[in-house]
Structure 1
Amino acid sequence: MKYPLDFKDNFEKTLLFWIERFIRYKLTSLSNRLVKDKNSVAEVINSLVKGTSSINELSILVKKARNAGLSGINTYYKPLEKLYSYLTKLGLASMKEIDEEMIIDFLTSSTGGLSDASKKNHRIAMINFFSYIDKQNLEDDGSSHVFGIELKNWGGLRGKAGQKLPVYLTEEEISRFIKAIETYPFRCEVAARNRALIKTILYTGIRVSEATNLKIKDIIPDSDIYLLKITGKGNKTRVVMIKSKHIKKDLDEWLSFRNCQKDLLFCNKKGTTLTQAYVSRMVEKILISAGIKKEKNGAHMLRHTFATLLYLKSKDLVLVQEALGHASLDTSRIYTHFDKNKLYKAASIMDDIK
C-alpha cells in the first residue's frame, strides 16, 4: 500500500509516520532466526500498524523488538531517531524540503567521533530509509516524489585507507592463553561449559554469535574430530572441524549436566542463549590472568587469531575465506598483512643495487 508523501499538515507527525512504516518493513524483513519471543514481535508490529503518538513511544516498541531477538533493528532505528530530532528542529513544512545536502549536514554533525563502522551504519540507514519512501509514496496525480539519496560523496568515511589491522595473539601468547583457560578459577557449574566454548571459538575461528547459537544437532563426532555445522551471517551454512582432543573432556563434562532450552549446545543458568558480552568478559579475564594485554581483549580477537595463524601456515586465502565464512575474498585479504616472509622480500628488493 502506498501513502501520500505529506499529510496532516504536520511535519513532525509525517516524519514519524514514515519512520514507523520503515521500521515495520524492516521488522518483517530482518532474519528472525534469533527471535526468542515471537509474541512480543507480533505485538510490536501490530502497534506499528496502528501508529504511535511520539518518537519516544516508537523507541519503546523498537527496544521491545530488539529484546525479543531482532537486535539488527537498532542499526536502522538509532540513526533515524537522531534524524527525527535533527529535522524537527529545522522548522520544515514538507518532506519535499529534504534533500541530500541536508542529510549530509545531519550526518556530519551527528557522527563526529564515531567509528567508521558506525558511520557506515548511519549512511546505510539513510539510504535505505529514503529509498523506501521513494517506492512507497504516491501523490493524487499518480506521481511519486523521489529523494534519490545516494550519499556517494559524503566525506565522513575514511574508507579502506583508514582500516585498522586486527588484533591477534602470537603463538607464544596462544600457548599461555590455553594454559590459562585450564587453570582459571571458574565456578564449578560453568567451568566445563566455559572452557569448551572458548576453545571452540579459538580452534575454529567461528564468530561468538555462531558459537553461542550452536545446537546439539550441529555438533557431530566423527573419528578424532567434531564436525560443526555453522549458521553464519545471512543464514549461510558452512562446516568447520575441531579435533576432539581439544574439547572432548570439557564437552562431555558439560553435557552430563547441561539443561538448555531450544536444543542449545551452550546456555546460561536460565537455559537461554549466552550473551556475546558475557563471553567477551570471560576471555578478557583469562587474558589478564595470563598476563596478556592487547588493544582489544574481546572474544572476537580469538577469531582474528585463528585467521591470522591459518593464513601464515597455509598461505591459502581461499581456505581462510571458507573457514571464516567471509562473503568476499577481500574481507579475508587483511590477514595477508601479517606475512613476514613477503614483507621481508619487499624490504630486500634494493639489496643488489650498488
Structure 2
Amino acid sequence: MKYSLDCEETFTQTYMFWLSRFIRNKITTLSNRQVKDKDRLTQILHELSIGYKEIEELKSTVKEVRNIGINSIHVYFIPLGKLFKFMSNYGPKSMKEIDEELLSDFLATQTSKLSDATKKNYRIALVTFFNYIDKQNEETNGNTYRFGIELKNWGGLSGKSGQKLPSFMKKDEVQKFIQAIDSYEFSNKIAARNRLILKIILYTGVRVSEAINIHMKDFNKDEDAYIIQVRGKGNKPRVVMIKELIIGKDLNEWNEIKTCQNNLLLCNQKGNELTQAYISSIVEKILLSVGIRKEKNGAHMLRHTFATMLYQKSKDLILVQESLGHADINTSRIYTHFDKDKLKQTTDIF
C-alpha cells in the first residue's frame, strides 16, 4: 500500500510516519538468523506499521530490536534520527523541502568528526531512506513525488578505503586492564560472570555479539584449554581457544550460581541474554578506574587489542584473519599498520 508524501498534519508527524515504516522495512530485509524472541519481533513490526509519534520512543524500540538479534538496524536509524533533530532546527513545513543541498549541509555539519566508514554509512542510510519513500509514496491523483537523492558529489569523504585505524591498548595498558578485571568491585552475584566474559573477549578476540551468544554445547574442555565454537557474521562458525588457567576459577564460580535459559553460557540475573551495551559499559568503567582513556572505550576495543597484539607477535595475517573470522583478508590488513619492527626500518633509511 502506498501513502501520500505529506500524509500527516505536520512535518514532524510525517517524518516519523515514514521513518517508522522505513525501519520496519529494513528489519524485514536484514538477516534474522540471530533473532531470539520471534513473538516480540512480530509485535514490534505491528507497532511500526502503525507508526511512532516520538523519536525517543522509536529509538528505544530500535535498541530492543538490536537486543532481539537484528544487529545492523542501528546503522540506518542513528543517521536518520540525527537528521530528524537537524530538521527540527531547520523548521520545514513539508517533506518536499528536503533536497540534496539540505542533506549535504546535514552531512557536513553532523559527520565532521566521524570516520570515513561511518560517513559512508550515513550517506547510505540517507540515500536508502529517500529511495524507499520514492517507491512508496503516491498522491490521490496517482502521481509520485521523487526525491532522487544520490549524494554522489558530497565531499565529506577523505579517501577510498573509508577505514579508520582502530583504538587498541598497548602491552602495558593490557596488563593494567587484566589486573583491574580481577580487582574491580562487582556485585558478588555477577562478579565471576563479568570477569569471565571480559577475559573471553580479550583473550580470543571474539565479537561481543558472539560472546553473549555462546551456548554450553559449544564450550568444551580440551586438556588445559577450552575450545569455543562461535557464530560470526552471516552465521559463519569458527573455533577459538582460551587456556583454563585464565578463566577456570571464574568459570567454576559462575557455574555454581548461574540460571541461564536456552543453555546459554552467560546471562543476566533473569536468565536472559546479556546486551552489548552492558558489556561495553563494564569495559569503560574498568578502563577509567585504571586511568586508561581511548577514543573508543567500548568492548569492541578489546577485539582490536587482541588482533593488534596477535599480529605483532606472529606477523601472520592469515592467522589474524582466521582468528577474527574476517571473510576478506583485506579487512585484517589494517592491523599491519601497528608493525613496529617494520616501522623501525624506516628510521634507518639514511
For Structure 1 versus Structure 2, the TM-score category normalised by the shorter chain is 0.7 to 0.9
Quickly say closer, same or farther: Cα 1:4–1:39, change in 2 above 3 A: closer
Report the AA paired with residue 127 of structure 1: V
Q: Which moved more, 1:27-36 or 1:308-317?
A: 27-36
| Conserved 8 A contact 1:202-1:305 | yes
Quickly say closer, same or farther: Cα 1:345–1:217, change in 2 above 3 A: same
Counterpart residue number, 1:67? 64
Report the AA paired with residue 230 of structure 1: V
| Conserved 8 A contact 1:44-1:65 | no
Q: CA separation in 2, counterparts of 1:287 and 1:7?
A: 48
Quickly say closer, same or farther: Cα 1:105–1:310, change in 2 above 3 A: same
Q: CA separation in 1, counterparts of 2:78 and 2:339?
A: 39
Query: Which structure 2 residues correspond to residues 68-217 of structure 1 after superposition, within 5 A?
Result: 68=65, 69=67, 70=70, 72-84=72-84, 86=87, 89-92=91-94, 95=96, 98-113=98-113, 116=116, 118-137=118-137, 147-159=147-159, 163-170=164-171, 172-217=172-217
Counterpart residue number, 1:255? 255
Q: CA separation in 1, counterparts of 2:239 and 2:223?
A: 16
Counterpart residue number, 1:306? 306
SS in 2 for 1:189: coil
Quickly say closer, same or farther: Cα 1:124–1:250, change in 2 above 3 A: same
Q: CA deviation at 1:112?
A: 4.8
| Conserved 8 A contact 2:120-2:162 | no
Report the AA paired with residue 346 of structure 2: A
Q: CA deviation at 1:313?
A: 1.7
**Deviation string, structure 1 residues 149-183 (Cα, Å, up to 9, x no partner):** 3323212334458834522231x443444344344
Quickly say closer, same or farther: Cα 1:108–1:229, change in 2 above 3 A: same
CA radius of gyration, larger in: 1
Quickly say closer, same or farther: Cα 1:348–1:239, change in 2 above 3 A: same
Quickly say closer, same or farther: Cα 1:180–1:129, change in 2 above 3 A: closer
Counterpart residue number, 2:292? 293
Quickly say closer, same or farther: Cα 1:343–1:112, change in 2 above 3 A: closer
State TM-score, norm by structure 1.
Answer: 0.80
| Conserved 8 A contact 1:203-1:242 | yes
**Deviation string, structure 1 residues 81-112 (Cα, Å, up to 9, x no partner):** 444562883344x74x6543332133234445
Q: CA deviation at 1:117?
A: 5.4
Q: Give me the CA root mean square deviation.
A: 3.4
Report the AA paired with residue 169 of structure 2: Y
Report the AA paired with residue 61 of structure 2: K
Quickly say closer, same or farther: Cα 1:194–1:161, change in 2 above 3 A: closer
**Deviation string, structure 1 residues 205-255 (Cα, Å, up to 9, x no partner):** 112222122121221223333221212233332221222332233213321
Work out the percentage of aligned pairs sharing the same amino acid. Answer: 51
SS in 1 for 2:190: helix
Q: CA separation in 2, counterparts of 1:279 and 1:6?
A: 41
Q: CA separation in 1, counterparts of 2:92 and 2:144?
A: 24
Q: CA deviation at 1:307?
A: 0.6
Report the AA paired with residue 335 of structure 2: Y
Could you tell me which runs of 5 or more consecutive residues in structure 1 were left unpaired when the two chains were aligned. none
Could you tell me which runs of 5 or more consecutive residues in structure 2 were left unpaired when the two chains were aligned. none
Q: CA deviation at 1:4?
A: 5.9
